[in-house]
Amino acid sequence: MAFLGLRLGNEPEMGPPDIQSLGILAEEHGYGEVWMTEGVGRDSLTQLTAIAAVTNRIGLGTGILPMFSRTPLVTAMSSAGLAAVSDGRFILGLGVGNRPATEDGHGVAFSQPMEHLSDLIHIVRGLLQGEEVSHDGKAITVSKASLGHAAPTGKVPIYIAALGPRMLRLAGAIGDGVLLSWTATSYLEQAIQLVRGGAVKAGRDPSEVEISGYLRVAMTDDLDAGRASLQREIARYAGGSHYRSYFRNTGFDAEMAGTQTARGHSDNPAMAAVISKNMQSELGVVGPAEVCWTRIEKLRGMGLTKLVIAPLTVGEIKSSYERTIKALAPQG
């Protein structure tokens, strides 16, 4: 059976019973993993713990855990806890986040992100392997850190969320996998080559690094409503300077110039309106199940081997998830 994962958006409108029921539904329909976002609102770890309590097989990943908001030891402790609760199904997805959220929201300096992530992964991986870790890094120094006897018995894979070339290469160099997001179809092969190049430069076999990524999906027969949902979601991300720069660098300069002009509140209709049909078709897919499956298979053929669908809301949130989960159940 071909792999397919599911991204849940951690929407505050859905409580723990809703999240649990979606996890159960995804497991029943053959999905390999559930990835939980973290930004504002609830943390991802408690949401995944709720899903772990009512499922038996499906993998559980943080997509992603912003690295500056937790120390390496707390990150490893949380990972060990979730690995225990889920009987070894946890995947630690890490990313640098962004400066405004880090400094304004957390009150923590956004400094040396690449070095911080590299040090963090070195320390966390050692702790999860049961080691006593002393590390004098470029960004983080720890001495005799340990999980004691609480280290997991099995491996906890560490995935790196990556957008630009430097982070893609770093994912190839030190990650067990890369987690792509908003990767245009026209940029995907280049992004994968950057990951593989980073692995080769680090003396690794590129096949050791899983290529995983989100595909935003509006699975609906109401094409106008689906396109509007996708437009709004792209515009929401383009409201942040880091994503605006990323979109500009991957072929959407005209659209990003338009969002600058229309910039205001994150759901400003003028911002959504400048997201062209070409940008929509490059970054997501809108349509009935057969249209969505055509895109999924195309991306798999291009090298996105662990594709994760990210359902967009068309109508009520939970029913949108349920409809998409059922209609796109993994096929053999």
pTM reported for the whole predicted model: 0.96
Per-residue pLDDT at 332 exceeds 60: no
> Which residues, 6+ apart, have CB-to-CB distance to 281 below 8 Å?
none
Strand 133-136 with 141-145, pairing: antiparallel
Please tell me the predicted confidence (pLDDT) of residue 266.
56
* Angle ∠(188,110,73) on CA atoms, nearest 5: 90
221 confidence band (pLDDT: 50, 70, 90): very high
Domains and CATH numbers, the chain: 5-217+288-322 (3.20.20.30), 221-285 (no CATH)
Give residue-wise pLDDT tens across range 273-283: 999 999 999 99
263 confidence band (pLDDT: 50, 70, 90): low
C-alpha torsion sign, points 251, 252, 254, 257: negative
267 confidence band (pLDDT: 50, 70, 90): low
Give residue-wise pLDDT tens across range 36-93: 999 888 999 999 999 999 999 999 999 999 999 999 999 999 999 999 999 999 999 9
| CB atoms inside a 10 Å sphere around CB 17 | 10
Per-residue pLDDT at 20 exceeds 80: yes
Q: What are phi and psi of 103, to 5 degrees?
A: -80, -40
User: 46-60, 266-280, 295-309, 316-330: which range is least confident on average?
Assistant: 266-280
Per-residue pLDDT at 143 exceeds 70: yes
Mean pLDDT calculated for residue range 93-114: 92
Please tell me the predicted confidence (pLDDT) of residue 265.
56
**Cα–Cα nearest to 36, from 10, 67, 54, 56:** 10
Per-residue pLDDT at 183 exceeds 80: yes
Give residue-wise pLDDT tens across range 147-159: 999 999 999 999 9
Mean pLDDT calculated for residue range 143-172: 97
Give residue-wise pLDDT tens across range 184-203: 999 999 999 999 999 999 99
- Kindly report the average pLDDT of the chain as a whole number: 95
Please tell me the predicted confidence (pLDDT) of residue 235.
93
| Distance set, CA 144 to CA 55, 118, 131, 187, 293 (Å) | 36, 18, 9, 43, 50
User: 1-15, 228-242, 266-280: which range is least confident on average?
Assistant: 266-280
How many angstroms separate the CA atoms of 259 and 273, rounded? 9
